Amino acid sequence: MDDKIKFFHWPQEVEIPKEFHSIDEMGEFTTCCMCEKKVKESGEPYLIERSFKRVNESYENVLFEYAICFDCARKMNEAMSKESMAKLETYFSQYLTGERQRMKLEESQNDSMAWFNHCMVKGTAREDIFEYNICGLFRGDKMLLGEFPYLLSLEAMEEITELLSAETKDELDDFRRNHLGGPPEFEELLKGRPVFIF
Ligand SMILES: [Zn+2]
């Protein structure tokens, strides 16, 4: 197996949940937002992130969404400042412990969507969160369970934003402006907000 993807292990594969379908593509994502590689056909792992804002009980706006191949995700990570990356690693290491992962996997035996029921960091129930992002790892037409998927509440994202250097925030704003699907009216709202917490 390729070195760069050895880190991930995927004990289980499930159908791609509707939450990870694309509005723009009217179904499953097919294409990397940066290099336009056909990620679904490629047989290689790829990542999807989508961001939601709840308007009322039955309606949520999608603020942005994208699929990205591993090569492009790595390039983005390399472009982030070392300082920001180190802080993010420390932040997430509190939450991504082996014990938590084991519990997540056990939970998913019965319900692969159980992981979306609360914020990975804060533990807040999804119904009490008005803005959140979900991230997942995929191969072909399957979602892979392991470190992914997860849900992050706005509260957690605001803490993460505090950790990022100005340079990294600019980098992410550029990425969002140039590559992501989503209505332009949300651009101001999303400014400085982290994307891509891999
Ligand atoms: Zn790509």
Share the mean pLDDT of the chain. 82
Q: Please state, in angstroms and rounded to a whole number, the distance separating the CA atoms of residues 180 and 183.
A: 9
**92 alpha carbon – ligand 1 mean position (Å):** 25
Q: What spacing in Å lies between the alpha carbon of 155 and ligand 1's midpoint?
A: 29
Greater model confidence, 7 or 91: 91
Measured in angstroms, how far is the CA atom of residue 23 from the centroid of ligand 1? 19
For residue 103, the CA-to-ligand 1 centroid distance in Å is 32
Q: What is the pLDDT of residue 4?
A: 45
Residue 94 phi, psi dihedral angles, 5° rounding: -70, -25
DSSP assignment of 51-114: EEEEEETTEEEEEEEEEEEHHHHHHHHHHS-HHHHHHHHHHHHTT--HHHHHHHHHHHHH-GGG
pLDDT tier for residue 3 given thresholds of 50, 70 and 90: very low
Bridge partners for 22 per DSSP: 27
Whole-number Å distance, alpha carbon 70 to ligand 1 midpoint, is 7
The pLDDT of residue 121: 86
Q: Looking at the predicted structure, is the pLDDT value of residue 5 above 50?
A: no
What are 54-80's pLDDT values in tens digits?
988 888 899 889 999 989 988 888 888
pTM of the prediction?
Answer: 0.84
User: Quick check: helix, strand or coil at residue 21?
Assistant: strand
Segment of 68-72, 99-103, 113-117, 146-150 carrying the highest mean pLDDT: 68-72
Average pLDDT over residues 106-111: 67
Note whether 44 and 69 are within 8 A (CB).
yes
How does pLDDT run across 174-194, given as a tens digit for each residue? 888 888 766 666 666 666 666
Distance from Cα 12 to the centre of ligand 1, integer Å:
24
Percent of the chain with pLDDT over 90: 32
Give me ligand 1 centre to Cα 86, in Å. 24
- Give me ligand 1 centre to Cα 31, in Å: 8
* CA dist., res. 1 & res. 183, Å (int): 38
CA of 68 to the centre of ligand 1 (A): 5
Q: Model confidence at 45, in pLDDT bands (50, 70, 90)?
A: very high
Q: For position 2, what pLDDT does the model report? A: 46
Q: Which of 29-33, 44-48, 146-150, 189-193 has the lowest mean pLDDT?
A: 189-193
Contact 157, 193 (CB under 8 A): yes
Query: Model confidence over 12-23: pLDDT tens digits?
Result: 788 999 999 998
